[in-house]
Chains A and B, each alone.
Chain A
Amino acid sequence: MTTDKVAVITGGGAPLGLACAQELSRRGLRLLLIDQDLGQPAQALADQVAAGRVVLGQSDLEDVPALRRAIDGAADRFGRIDVLANCVLEPGPDGCWEVDEAAWQRCLRVNMKLPFFALQACVPHMRQVGGGRVVNLSSSLSAYTDGRHGLVFGLAKAGLNSMTRQWAVDLCLDNIQANSLWIGPGRPEDLPRPQAVARFVAWLALDATPYLNGAQIPVDGGAALFRQGRLLEAPKSVLPPLRSGPVLFGGPETHPQKCPPSAALRSGTFRGPREPKLGSFVEVSNT
């Protein structure tokens, strides 16, 4: 697959941003990665870096003039910028009332201010190629909270969600679309793999309909279902009886993909509901 498109990835050194970089690179894009520590992509994308197709922009994520220089430099070098993926996820201080001011400032600067000024620097270049795509990695913690953890992170990502809407509207006549992806809270083993998120980010950046715009899209594997990290007491689903009828293929011992479910159910080998993993409540999201 060949494309001459170019993407800027902020937070490209952390697992999610790196996965996005790898996926977009696999799809043929040239990249500018911006992060504090770019050791991982320097290794993982060494061939691309050596070939000059991936540029690493070391940054403390708070230096706006340096950010602009990096983005303008990439535009000069590659000749264009088409995509901005804001993948910075600065977790910020834990807790609510005991938060100190420096940590508050850092969290807002990285999660809100950096994406804004990154886009501000990208827009003239996107306009020159007739449009662009912005993907903002946000969090379900911008909408759900336990009130004790991640106060600053949640409000910073809520601010990013608001900017997604603002950008989608303000830049619509420049053919620039912006969407927020909500990464879920929780233990890494409960969350989608970074590679899966990255494939969807690439789809949004390259393939998605422009009518998907200004949207808040949870990619949290159903974090809306979690309460206290587990299922609240919910009655187990009872499977309705199946009507009798001919079993068409296979037997219960065959691979599930080849075994019609009716065979497993009718032969009594279906084990019934799995152990519940998710919570029983879902709220109306406040998108």
Chain B
Amino acid sequence: MTETRTGRRAVVTGGARGLGASVAARLTQAGWSVALLDQDIAAGQAQAERLSQSGPAWFVPFDAAGDAQGPIEAAAERLGGVDLLVCAAHQGLERPVERISQADWDRVIGVDLNGAFFPVQAAVAHLAAGVDPCVIHLSAVQARVASGLHAVYSAAMAAVAAVSRSLAAELAPLGIRCCCVSPYTVLTESNRDRLEEPGWRQLQESTVLNGGIMTGPELADLVYQIVTGPGLFNACDIVLDGGMNIFRERPTASPYQSSASGEVSRR
């Protein structure tokens, strides 16, 4: 199904799989042209091919911890400009502090933090000439809440949100909006095998208010609202966490189920 082409152009880092792929799919469905930047060449090409059934989609090899300018330039030339940059390249790490090596540290900071900054730097000139230009960063709720085994990851995610805020102020004079979304666990190809780990699914489901585990398209739809809400959203960090950061004990029973009549008590 192809809707009207919008003529708008997006670069999505980490677009081969996971959240990046979901965001890219949401954009192509809405008529955007997209360039997927990813280190996974086979997955990236396959995803671009899938998306090109809905609209123009290209793949550009990219390592978020490495050079950004070459891939961003290549993407901008393919697209004929850039209106939107989504920094979705992502490296998680769940590991006890004493087992985190310097290489682990460098990889997480490299992909998550370098990958939140250098692509924007490379894209600023293109964005400044784009149509309602916007940068979306994906952080994580772990930037705000204490959660074991995430010492490096939560630091990287907090830094991503800080980069987004700072760039929002710096790039506002250029008309470029910068917004951040901070999700809790999203079920993707990258973590689907963890469903087999004892207790993993139960932990995820018990730490959100409505149970279950969020999926990529649900996050992508929020990103799309932000991207297409120019008057509304700028310099914001929207937490999409099933309420994870606002409660410590989830209710075990509805406050209304105890009343005999099933009616809400009003006195």
Contact = CB atoms under 8 A, between A and B. Distances in A.
B210 A175 contact: yes
A278 B173 contact: yes
A217 B81 contact: no
Interface in A206-247: 207-222, 224-225, 231, 234, 236-237, 239-240, 242-243, 245-246
B51 to A, nearest CB: 20
Contact of A280 (B121, B169, B225, B232): B169
Contacts of B125: 239-240, 242, 261, 265
A281 B239 contact: no
B238 interface: yes
B80 interface: yes
Contact of B240 (A212, A243, A256): A212
B128 to A, nearest CB: 6
B208 interface: yes
Interface string B210-226: 10001000110110010
B250 interface: yes
Given A169-B250, A213-B210, A260-B80, A225 B172 contact: yes
Interface residues of B, number: 67
B131 interface: yes
A248 B234 CA distance: 31
A199 B228 CA distance: 11
Q: Which of A127, A214, A225 has the most CB of B within 10 A?
A: A214
Nearest to B208: A211
Interface in A64-105: 68
A193 to B, nearest CB: 6
A173 interface: yes
Contacts of B166: 282
Nearest to B172: A278
A192 B80 CA distance: 30
Contacts of A248: 77, 80
Contacts, number: 206
Contacts of B243: 165, 168-169, 172, 213-214
A207 B183 CA distance: 18
A282 B69 contact: no
Contacts of A142: none
Contact of B129 (A171, A270, A285): A270
A240 B232 contact: no
A190 B169 CA distance: 16
B199 interface: no
A170 B172 contact: no
Contact of B209 (A214, A243, A264, A275): A214
A7 to B, nearest CB: 19
B231 A196 contact: yes
B81 A222 contact: no
Contacts of B171: 237
Contacts of A222: 168, 172, 177, 233-236
Interface in B76-127: 76-77, 80-82, 121-122, 124-127
Contacts of B234: 221-222, 225, 278
Interface stretch (B10-18, B148-156, B252-260): B252-260
A211 B173 contact: no
Contacts of B255: 170-171
Given A237-B171, A240-B121, A246 B225 contact: no
B131 to A, nearest CB: 5
Nearest to B264: A124
B49 interface: no
A282 B169 contact: yes
A25 B113 CA distance: 44
Interface of B: 7-8, 69, 73, 76-77, 80-82, 121-122, 124-131, 165-166, 168-175, 177, 183-184, 208-210, 214, 218-219, 221-222, 225, 229, 231-243, 246-247, 250-251, 253-257, 263-264, 266
Given A259-B81, A259-B129, 19 more contacts: A124-B263, A127-B256, A127-B264, A171-B255, A209-B240, A211-B184, A213-B209, A215-B239, A218-B235, A219-B233, A225-B168, A225-B234, A237-B174, A249-B80, A257-B7, A261-B76, A276-B172, A282-B168, A284-B165
21 contacts: A168-B243, A174-B254, A177-B209, A200-B229, A209-B222, A219-B232, A219-B233, A221-B234, A225-B234, A231-B172, A234-B173, A237-B170, A237-B173, A250-B80, A261-B81, A261-B82, A261-B125, A265-B129, A281-B169, A285-B236, A287-B239
Which 3 A-B pairs have CB atoms at the shortest separation, nearest pair first?
A261-B129, A222-B234, A209-B218
